[in-house]
Amino acid sequence: MVEVTLWGSLGRAAGGTNKLDIEAKDIRELFRKLAEQHPGLQPWIDRGIAVSIDGTIYRDTWSKQLPQDAEIFLLPRLAGG
């Protein structure tokens, strides 16, 4: 079980909660379970969500393991210049 923090707007889409406890070993499973438990998040996942694990931001490495004691924070996927 990992604790996942959602950024403000995503929290609203998840029904007004900012923290979720989810049983997920990696980012892929996290997204799958998020979508199952909160169907409102599916469009956000499709558009792109970045995952911060202990401060390091992952955008595409969905195989990244989620350590039990890590700080998991979801962020919008951004564009650069």
Partner 1 sequence: MNFDPRYSTRNFTAVGTRPIRPDGIDKVTGRARYGADFNMAGQLVGRILRSPHAHAKIKKIDTSKAEKLPGVKAVITAADLPDHTNGDAAMYDILDNCMARKKALYDGHAVAAVAAIDARTARQALKLIEVDYEVLAHVTDVDEAMKHGAPLINDAVFTEGLEEKPVKPSNVTKRSQFGHGDVHAGFGHADFVVERSFRTEQTHQGYIEPHACVASANADGTADLWVCTQGHFVYRQHCAQLLGMDASKLRVTSSEIGGGFGGKTHVWAEPVALALSRKAGRPVKLVMTRDEVFRASGPTSATSIDVRIGARKDGTITAAEATLRYSCGPYAGSWAEVGAMTSFACYRLENVKTVGYEVLVNRPKTAAYRAPSAPMAAFAVESAIDELAKMVGMDPVDFRIKNAAQEGTRSSYGPVYGPIGIGPTLEAVKNHPHMKAPLGKNQGRGMACGFWFNFGGQTCTDLNIGMDGSVSLAVGTIDVGGSRASLSLIAAEELGIAYEHVKAVVADTSSLGYNDMTDGSRGTFSTSMATISAARNAIRTLRERAAQMWDISVDDVAWEHGHAVARGEKHGNLGKLSLKEIAAASGTTGGPIAGHSELVADGAGVSFATHICDIEVDPETGATRVLRYTVVQDAGKAVHPTYVEGQYQGGAAQGIGWALNEEYIYGKDGRLQNAGFLDYRIPVCSDLPMIDTQILEIPNPNHPYGVRGVGETSIVPPLAAIANALSNAAGVRMTHIPMSPPRVLAALEAAREG
Buried b (16+ CB within 10 A) or exposed e, 25-44: eebeebbeebbeebeebeeb
- Contacting partner 1 within 7-66 (CB under 8 A): 7-9, 12, 52, 54-61, 64
CB of 7 to partner 1, least distance (A): 6
User: Which of 23, 55 has the CB closer to partner 1?
Assistant: 55
Would you count residue 68 as binding partner 1 (CB under 8 A)? no
74 CB-contact burial (10 Å; exposed 0-12 / middle 13-18 / buried 19+):
buried
User: Which of 32, 52 has the CB closer to partner 1?
Assistant: 52
The set of residues, in sequence order, having a beta carbon less than 8 Å from that of 81 and lying 6+ positions away, is: none
Residues that bind partner 1 (CB under 8 A): 5, 7-9, 12, 52, 54-61, 64, 71, 73, 75-76, 78-81
